[in-house]
């Protein structure tokens, strides 16, 4: 497996996005850049697209390997349908995907996944609230090119650093889905993309908290899979 050749250095600070422009230029001469500036995808990176033009454009062409994305997806709003569009795209390209289910008391229901275009031959499921404790070997080998950590319990900065480092080293993409909305006041320097999802009258609204440019996307539920409306 090819790995990134560029020696990326990250500013490990909470205020990276607020570095004055002149200071950023000076640091850039020394090869020090904030993580948010790494919007450019490495030439050999794979991008996991959903097959939906608007969503893929919103995701800057798809979720690139070597990075981590963080999603705020409150429960009971069908927002994981959006994550599933990306997962389905990866499995259709015959790439192995691991879905780590940390939702209390809920199991995955595979027929619904299959109906939404996920090829079940290329996805594995595991239940773990603390994925780094029980699944460490998974992060050390590039078997799964896309990993989804659904509702992990309390990821500390050490864990985030480990996930981001391994995503880069193993050339995989890690999606971290939370059952709550992400806060704009408290950032996460390890995630290249931070997106909040909200349910709207006939679909969803995605708001990028972090990315190349802050932007929004309105999606209707029937666009992705021809789903029935949940608007009641």
Partner 1 sequence: MFYLAISSSQPDFKPESLTPRFMLWRPGIWLLDLGPVWAYWCHQAGSHDLHDLHDLHDLNGLHGFLRQAISALAGQGVVAVLDANPWRALLGMEVMCERGLNGFVSAQNALGRNLVNEASWDIWFRLADEVAAHWFGTRRERFNLQVFRRQARQMALGMERLGIRKPADLGGIPALAIRRRYGAPLHDLWLWSHEAPSAPGALGAPRIDDGSPAGFPWVLWRQEQAIQVKRHLDSPLLEWEHMEIVLREDVDRLCALLNKQGAGRILSLEWRVVFLDLSCLVIPIRFRHPHDLPAEFPHYRTALLQACYAFEDAIPAAMGAAVDLGVYEKAIGSWDLMVTEKINLPPVMRDLFGSVRAANEAEATDDAEGVAKYRLQQLENRLSVPLSAYEVTANWIPEEGYKNVQKNMQPNVEPYTRPSLRALGLRRPLFVYPKPRSSPQPTNQSRAWVFCERIMDKWWRSGSASGQESTQRDYYMMRDQEQRAVWVFKDGAGKWYVHGMYN
Per CB under 8 A, the segment of 23-31, 52-60, 138-146, 203-211 that binds partner 1 is: 138-146
Provide φ and ψ at 177, rounded to 5°.
-105, 130
Q: Is there binding between residue 225 and partner 1 (CB under 8 A)?
A: yes
Among 92, 108, 202, 214, binds partner 1 (CB under 8 A): 108
b/e map 39-51, b = 16+ CB within 10 Å: eebbeebbbbbbe
Q: Is there binding between residue 38 and partner 1 (CB under 8 A)?
A: no
Q: Is there binding between residue 226 and partner 1 (CB under 8 A)?
A: yes
Nearer to partner 1, 41 or 73 (CB): 73
Q: Is there binding between residue 201 and partner 1 (CB under 8 A)?
A: no
Q: Is there binding between residue 141 and partner 1 (CB under 8 A)?
A: yes
For residue 183, the 8-state DSSP code is P
Q: How far is the CB of 115 from partner 1 (least distance, A)?
A: 3
Per CB under 8 A, the segment of 17-25, 27-35, 120-128, 154-162 that binds partner 1 is: 120-128
Q: How far apart are the first and last CA of the chain?
A: 48
Q: Is there binding between residue 156 and partner 1 (CB under 8 A)?
A: no
Give yes or no for a contact between 193 and 214, defined as CB atoms under 8 angstroms apart.
no
| Spatial CA neighbour of 146 closest among 116, 118, 106 | 118
| Spatial CA neighbour of 81 closest among 201, 225, 231 | 225
Among 134, 153, 183, 214, binds partner 1 (CB under 8 A): 134
What is the rounded distance in angstroms from the CA atom of residue 229 to the CA atom of residue 167? 35
Provide φ and ψ at 65, rounded to 5°.
-70, 155
Q: Is there binding between residue 11 and partner 1 (CB under 8 A)?
A: no
* Site for partner 1, rule CB under 8 A: 73, 75-81, 84, 96, 98, 101, 103, 105-116, 120-121, 123-128, 134-135, 137-138, 141, 143, 179, 225-228, 230, 232
């Amino acid at each position: 497996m090819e790995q990134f050749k560029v020696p990326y250095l990250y500013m490990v600070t909470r205020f990276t996005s607020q570095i004055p422009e002149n200071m950023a230029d000076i640091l850039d001469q020394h090869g020090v850049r904030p993580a948010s500036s790494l919007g450019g995808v490495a030439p050999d990176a794979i991008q996991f697209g959903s097959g939906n033009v608007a969503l893929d454009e919103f995701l800057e062409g798809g979720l690139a390997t070597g990075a981590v994305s963080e999603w705020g997806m409150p429960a009971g709003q069908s927002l994981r349908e959006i994550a599933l569009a990306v997962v389905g795209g990866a499995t259709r390209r015959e790439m192995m995907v691991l879905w780590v289910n940390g939702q209390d008391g809920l199991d995955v229901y595979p027929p619904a996944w299959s109906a939404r275009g996920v090829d079940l031959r290329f996805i594995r499921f595991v239940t773990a609230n603390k994925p780094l404790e029980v699944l460490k070997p998974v992060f050390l080998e590039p078997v799964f090119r896309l990993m989804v950590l659904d509702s992990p319990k309390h990821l500390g900065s050490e864990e985030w650093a480990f996930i981001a480092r391994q995503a880069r080293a193993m050339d995989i993409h890690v999606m971290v889905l939370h059952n709550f909305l992400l806060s704009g006041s408290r950032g996460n320097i390890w995630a290249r993309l931070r997106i909040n999802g909200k349910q709207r009258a006939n679909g969803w609204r995605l708001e990028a908290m972090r990315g190349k440019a802050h932007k929004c996307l309105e999606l209707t539920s029937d666009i992705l899979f021809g789903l029935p409306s949940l608007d009641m």
